[in-house]
């Protein structure tokens, strides 16, 4: 919201300068020129700022790097606006407006970021957090809480029903005996959030005390829900079927309206994208043919919606018949089977472009879990009985797991990515799809694949 206000003020000041001082005309013209422009101006700026990770409050704000990032973001947003308003000449941004607006926006956004991180964020402080129950689930939560350089929660301790556990710690976190009394502890330590373990045998008295705290305004989570909200993934080894059954409340995970709109967007965007990238497709096809022996396209059977098989289409990036001797193998970093040109195609994601044919046909969607082979699907299903839930949505070109996790080089990595996929299946919406697309652009720009 503050970014929107700063962006608006920067544009407003630049137009006041142009109309009043540069052109010598009446200021009443400012409102006329801005009225049709302000909404796309703000939206484009906010989207570009998101792509440049300017809304990541868990990331430390470094002044020099922050200033350079903000400069690049504002310049890019100005370029996109200039391109947009090229088709609407009446509203196009002139050189005078850009000359005044860009430095004002850069300085305004920079000082707001500095103010937020140096003063406001520190004044707000972390939410004091208490875990209740002693088991592996809480051990996992402690590890996740320690991962972030800018913390949202300040972990006070773990309340344990074991009286003998007093003065002991778990991973450096003190264990607090229930004998101290929950209500007293909450008041003394200014605790704002309680997390009660999903699978521990918590005494009924403590549960009643937690219930009492909730009605007094304290935020209360069960362990699995807190983990899910904190990390963006579902802890499949610590949840039970009943928790998963009611994770979305009474709503169905698949909503007809959302599915229809998503399919319409898939058809329109994939058709447009294939037309726009047709010169790149032709160039890649010719270069591949000259670079190495074998077909231009790589086709492989993958599992789609409801485990229906389909042929995935990509540009070939490996030597021909790469698995003839080894059998099914996962792709990995520094894969020796990848050709010289294939490395470039993977690094730039150009090898993924033909998958838009799969999207147009309806085998895939823009956003969803990555399509997987039956061999590996059967293998991972033995590790967790939840794995077939992955096929309750269409696979996608990009997905939540791809934006949150890098290359998977082991079965454990694949199961980790599945936890992100399950989060997406539970929370799928048009807004989350847009978020994933933006995060994908962010990943391509700042964390290119190996």
Assign 60 to helix, strand or coil: coil
State the burial class of residue 446 (Cβ atoms within 10 Å of its Cβ: 0-12, 13-18, 19+).
exposed
Which alpha helices (DSSP H) does 22-135 contain, by range? Answer: 28-34, 38-51, 63-86, 95-115, 121-124
CA 384 to mean position of chain CA atoms: 24
pLDDT of residue 155: 87
Does the model's pTM come out above 0.75? yes
- Strand 127-132 and strand 153-160: the pairing is parallel
Domains in the chain: boundaries: 2-124, 127-231, 256-446
Of the candidates 228, 208, 231, 219, the residue with the CA atom closest to the CA atom of residue 129: 219
- Strand 297-303 and strand 309-315: the pairing is antiparallel
What residues pair up with 398 in beta bridges, in sequence order?
A: 367
pLDDT of residue 310: 95
User: What is the Cα–Cα distance from 301 to 371, expressed in whole angstroms?
Assistant: 9
353 contact partners, CB below 8 Å, separation of at least 6:
273, 277, 280, 281, 284, 315
Of the candidates 410, 445, 274, 290, the residue with the CA atom closest to the CA atom of residue 353: 274
pLDDT of residue 272: 92
Which string of b and e fits 173-189 if b means at least 16 CB within 10 Å? bebbbbeeebeebbeee
What's the Rg (C-alpha) of the chain? Answer: 26
Of the candidates 160, 12, 224, the residue with the CA atom closest to the CA atom of residue 97: 12
Of the candidates 267, 249, 261, 244, the residue with the CA atom closest to the CA atom of residue 392: 244
The dihedral sign for the CA sequence 366, 369, 370, 375? negative
128 contact partners, CB below 8 Å, separation of at least 6:
153, 154, 156, 189, 190, 191, 192, 193
C-alpha neighbours within 13 Å on the C-beta side of residue 436: 29
Superfamily of domain 127-231 in CATH is NAD(P)-binding Rossmann-like Domain (3.40.50.720)
What is the block-wise mean pLDDT of the chain (450 residues), using blocks of 10 residues?
A: 91 80 65 70 88 78 84 88 71 74 92 83 71 78 76 81 61 77 87 83 83 90 89 88 76 76 93 92 88 85 94 87 64 71 83 93 94 92 92 93 82 91 90 88 65
């Amino acid at each position: 919201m503050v970014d929107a206000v700063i962006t608006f003020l920067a544009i407003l000041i630049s137009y006041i300068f142009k109309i009043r001082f540069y052109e010598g005309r009446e200021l009443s013209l400012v409102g006329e020129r801005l009225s049709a422009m302000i909404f796309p101006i703000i939206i484009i700026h906010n989207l570009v700022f998101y792509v440049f990770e300017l809304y990541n409050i868990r990331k430390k704000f470094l002044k020099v790097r922050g200033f350079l990032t903000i400069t690049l973001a504002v310049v890019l947003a100005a370029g996109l606006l200039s391109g947009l308003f090229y088709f609407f000449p009446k509203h196009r941004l002139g050189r005078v407006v850009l000359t005044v607006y860009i430095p004002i926006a850069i300085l305004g956004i920079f000082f707001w970021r500095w103010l937020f991180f140096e003063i406001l964020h520190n004044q707000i402080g972390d939410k004091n957090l208490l875990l209740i129950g002693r088991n592996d689930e809480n051990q996992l939560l402690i590890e996740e809480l320690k991962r972030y350089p800018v913390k949202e929660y300040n972990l006070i301790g773990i309340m344990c029903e074991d009286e003998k556990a007093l003065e002991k710690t778990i991973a450096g976190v003190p264990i607090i005996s229930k004998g101290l009394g929950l209500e007293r502890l909450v008041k003394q330590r200014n605790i704002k959030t309680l997390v009660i373990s999903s699978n521990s045998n918590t005494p009924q008295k403590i549960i009643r005390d937690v219930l009492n705290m909730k009605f007094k305004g304290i935020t209360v989570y069960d362990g699995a829900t807190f983990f899910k909200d904190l990390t963006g993934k579902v802890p499949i080894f610590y949840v039970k079927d009943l928790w998963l059954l009611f994770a979305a409340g009474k709503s169905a995970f698949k909503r007809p309206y959302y599915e229809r709109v998503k399919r319409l967007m898939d058809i329109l965007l994939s058709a447009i994208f294939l037309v726009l990238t047709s010169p790149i497709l032709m160039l890649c096809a010719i270069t591949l043919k000259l670079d190495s022996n074998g077909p231009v396209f790589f086709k492989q059977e993958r599992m789609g919606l409801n485990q229906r098989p389909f042929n995935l289409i990509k540009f070939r990036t490996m030597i021909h018949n790469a698995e003839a001797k080894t059998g099914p193998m996962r792709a990995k970093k520094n894969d020796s089977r990848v050709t010289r040109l294939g490395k470039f195609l993977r690094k730039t994601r150009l090898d993924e472009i033909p998958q838009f044919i799969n999207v147009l046909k309806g085998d895939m969607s823009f956003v969803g879990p990555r399509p997987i082979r039956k061999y590996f699907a059967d293998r991972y299903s033995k590790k967790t009985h939840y794995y077939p839930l992955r096929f309750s949505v269409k696979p996608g070109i990009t997905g939540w797991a791809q934006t949150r996790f890098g290359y998977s080089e082991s079965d454990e990595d694949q199961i980790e990515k599945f936890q992100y996929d399950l989060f997406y299946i539970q929370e799928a919406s048009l807004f989350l799809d847009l978020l994933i697309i933006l995060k994908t652009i962010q990943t391509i720009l700042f964390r290119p694949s190996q």
